[in-house]
């Protein structure tokens, strides 16, 4: 019974009953319908004389990007392009057409490549019925432990066919399609006359397809974000935040260490009183010594102002050279009670930080100013080598910027993806689910 015959992929001398053109078959006995390459009539491949099933003339010929008969390698197996169809859906009065390439391997069977605007999917039918479920507000489907979120349901019309098919194809036929996504995968159902078939696709780049099928030139550029296109930001967000957390921890340790290491010596401390009516408002402090390496100097003023203001003209003067560094601070402190309760405004103290002062002997010249009828007492303190945390805070902000940026980019990508779905209008309401 084991015939030694080896099936051939070319059926001899078959002629199209419509135009007489030669018809070749690549799908062995699996082919049910074949389309004449010459006149695009759909023929019954099972009938000996290729009975005419449908003449096809209303539309312009579409040329597949990967020609029929091209062989390529997917998942380690050789596949041959034997069929090609264009299907179309209408969403908000806009037509979207995509291409489907039927691939055949005489041992492994059939799979498809779909193509839309530079985006490709490697699709295989599945033997099973995914479990209907929900993900947040959206319907979902569960298959083999993975949840696929509903993306779009539409009626797809076959508008162009070429080559061979192991099922009945007709131009003008419509099926209901539904896509559920778990990037980079997409679970799709097709319903015809109540019969549902499911397939599982995985996103492929044009470059990958071109390599797999040894295509010359470059694939069409991908535009926009496709339903199940993997996000280039996926996983990066978490990694970026983790990195930022480590860097912040390092920064704060450094901050702690530096504050322990800083000298923070008090060089001078003295209390004074002042009255607005004083004839000689300015005073000079005793000379004090600033020691060690060039470092910062902090001057603290603390007053007993009460519903009052004062202005301090200050100068840090180097004793021997007389070189002076001038600065000023306004201090005001008000408080009271109104219908909202107690309130305060301003503070009783101020702080001046002078960066990088060389060691040496210095004194301060102080010239306060205030309402003539008032008086105050105040304390002056001079400290050397105080920790400056501002730089650490700037560094911390810089560390946090990249993950914030990555997070925003990821959000942007996801919202671009869902813009093309049935849920486009609900917009940002989906954020908490995708995060």
Nearer Cβ to other proteins (104/120): 104
Give the DSSP per-residue string, 94-126: EEEEEEEEEEEETTTEEEEEEEETTEEEEEEEE
**Smallest distance, other proteins to C-beta of residue 230, A:** 24
**Smallest distance, other proteins to C-beta of residue 433, A:** 23
Nearer Cβ to other proteins (167/405): 167
In the chain, what are the helix, strand and coil shares in percent, each to the nearest 5? 20, 45, 35
**Smallest distance, other proteins to C-beta of residue 108, A:** 5
Binding residue (CB under 8 A) for other proteins from 29, 214, 224, 427: 29
Nearer Cβ to other proteins (131/289): 131
How far is the C-alpha of 245 from the C-alpha of 21, rounded, in Å?
Answer: 70
Contact set for other proteins, span 54-83 (CB under 8 A): 78
- Please tell me whether residue 377 binds other proteins under the rule CB under 8 A: no
Q: How far is CA 233 from each of CA 204, 206, 409, rounded to the nearest angstrom?
A: 17, 20, 7
- Please tell me whether residue 129 binds other proteins under the rule CB under 8 A: yes
User: CB-side exposure of 231: number of CA atoms within 13 Å?
Assistant: 22
**Smallest distance, other proteins to C-beta of residue 132, A:** 9
Binding residue (CB under 8 A) for other proteins from 18, 19, 30, 258: 30
Q: Distance between alpha carbon 141 and the CA centroid of its chain, in Å?
A: 25
Mark out the alpha helices in 139-205 (DSSP H runs): none
67 Cβ partners below 8 Å, 6+ apart? 81
Peptide bond into 184 cis (omega under 30): yes
Residue-level length of the chain: 435
- Please tell me whether residue 48 binds other proteins under the rule CB under 8 A: no
**3-state SS class at 296:** strand
- Please tell me whether residue 194 binds other proteins under the rule CB under 8 A: yes
Kindly state the tokens that stand for 17.
Answer: 């009953």
- Please tell me whether residue 143 binds other proteins under the rule CB under 8 A: yes
Kindly state the tokens that stand for 428.
Answer: 């940002």
How far is the C-alpha of 167 from the C-alpha of 103, rounded, in Å?
Answer: 14
CB atoms within 10 A of CB 310: 23
- Please tell me whether residue 155 binds other proteins under the rule CB under 8 A: no
Stretch that binds other proteins, among 113-121, 166-174, 219-227, 330-338 (CB under 8 A): 166-174
Q: How far is CA 59 from each of CA 53, 93, 101, rounded to the nearest angstrom?
A: 17, 20, 19
- Please tell me whether residue 372 binds other proteins under the rule CB under 8 A: no
Nearer Cβ to other proteins (70/105): 105
- Please tell me whether residue 398 binds other proteins under the rule CB under 8 A: no
- Please tell me whether residue 1 binds other proteins under the rule CB under 8 A: yes
Q: Which of 231, 245, 222, 235 is nearest to 182 (CA)?
A: 231
Helix (H) or strand (E) holding 422: none
- Please tell me whether residue 13 binds other proteins under the rule CB under 8 A: no
Binding residue (CB under 8 A) for other proteins from 47, 95, 168, 277: 168
- Please tell me whether residue 147 binds other proteins under the rule CB under 8 A: no
Nearer Cβ to other proteins (143/203): 143
- Please tell me whether residue 166 binds other proteins under the rule CB under 8 A: yes
**Smallest distance, other proteins to C-beta of residue 143, A:** 8
Contact set for other proteins, span 82-111 (CB under 8 A): 105-110
- Please tell me whether residue 214 binds other proteins under the rule CB under 8 A: no
Nearer Cβ to other proteins (195/432): 195
Nearer Cβ to other proteins (6/13): 6
**3-state SS class at 377:** strand
- Please tell me whether residue 7 binds other proteins under the rule CB under 8 A: yes
Binding site for other proteins (CB under 8 A): 1-2, 6-9, 27-30, 32, 46, 78, 105-110, 125-131, 142-144, 166-168, 194-196
């Amino acid at each position: 019974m084991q015939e030694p015959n080896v099936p051939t992929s070319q059926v001899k001398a078959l002629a199209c009953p419509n135009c007489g053109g030669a018809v070749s078959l690549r799908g062995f006995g699996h082919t049910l319908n074949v389309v004449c390459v010459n006149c695009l009539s759909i023929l019954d491949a099972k009938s000996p004389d290729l009975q005419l099933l449908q003449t096809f003339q209303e539309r312009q010929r579409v040329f597949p990007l990967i020609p029929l008969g091209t062989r390529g390698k997917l998942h380690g197996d050789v596949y041959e392009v034997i069929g090609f169809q264009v299907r179309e859906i209408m969403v908000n009065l806009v037509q979207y057409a995509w291409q489907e390439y039927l691939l055949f391997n005489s041992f492994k069977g059939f799979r498809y490549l779909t193509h839309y605007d530079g985006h490709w999917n490697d699709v295989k039918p599945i033997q099973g019925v995914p479990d209907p479920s929900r993900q947040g507000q959206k319907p979902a489907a569960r298959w083999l432990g993975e949840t696929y979120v509903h993306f779009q349901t539409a009626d797809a019309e076959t508008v162009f066919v070429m080559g061979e098919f192991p099922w009945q194809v007709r131009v003008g036929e419509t099926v209901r399609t539904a896509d559920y996504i778990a990037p980079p995968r997409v679970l799709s159902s097709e319903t015809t006359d109540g019969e549902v078939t499911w397939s599982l696709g995985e996103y492929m780049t044009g470059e990958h397809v071109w390599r797999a099928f040894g295509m010359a030139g470059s694939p069409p550029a991908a535009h926009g974000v496709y339903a199940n296109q993997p996000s280039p930001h996926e996983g990066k967000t978490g990694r970026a935040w983790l990195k930022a957390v480590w860097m912040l921890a390092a920064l704060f340790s450094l901050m702690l260490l530096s504050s322990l290491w800083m000298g923070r010596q008090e060089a001078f401390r003295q209390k004074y009183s002042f009255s607005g009516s004083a004839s000689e408002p300015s005073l000079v402090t005793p000379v004090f010594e600033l020691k060690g390496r060039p470092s910062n100097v902090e001057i603290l003023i603390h007053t007993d102002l009460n519903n009052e203001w004062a202005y301090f003209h200050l100068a840090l003067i180097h004793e021997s050279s007389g070189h002076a560094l001038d600065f000023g601070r306004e201090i005001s402190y008000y408080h009271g009670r109104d219908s909202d309760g107690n309130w305060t405004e301003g503070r009783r103290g101020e702080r001046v930080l002078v960066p990088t002062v060389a060691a040496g002997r210095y004194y301060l010249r102080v010239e306060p100013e205030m309402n003539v009828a008032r008086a105050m007492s105040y304390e002056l303190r001079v400290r050397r080598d105080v920790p400056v945390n501002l730089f650490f805070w700037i560094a911390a902000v810089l560390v946090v910027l990249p993950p914030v940026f990555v997070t925003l980019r990821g959000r942007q990508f996801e919202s671009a993806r869902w813009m093309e779905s049935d849920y486009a209008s609900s917009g940002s309401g989906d954020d908490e689910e995708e995060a």
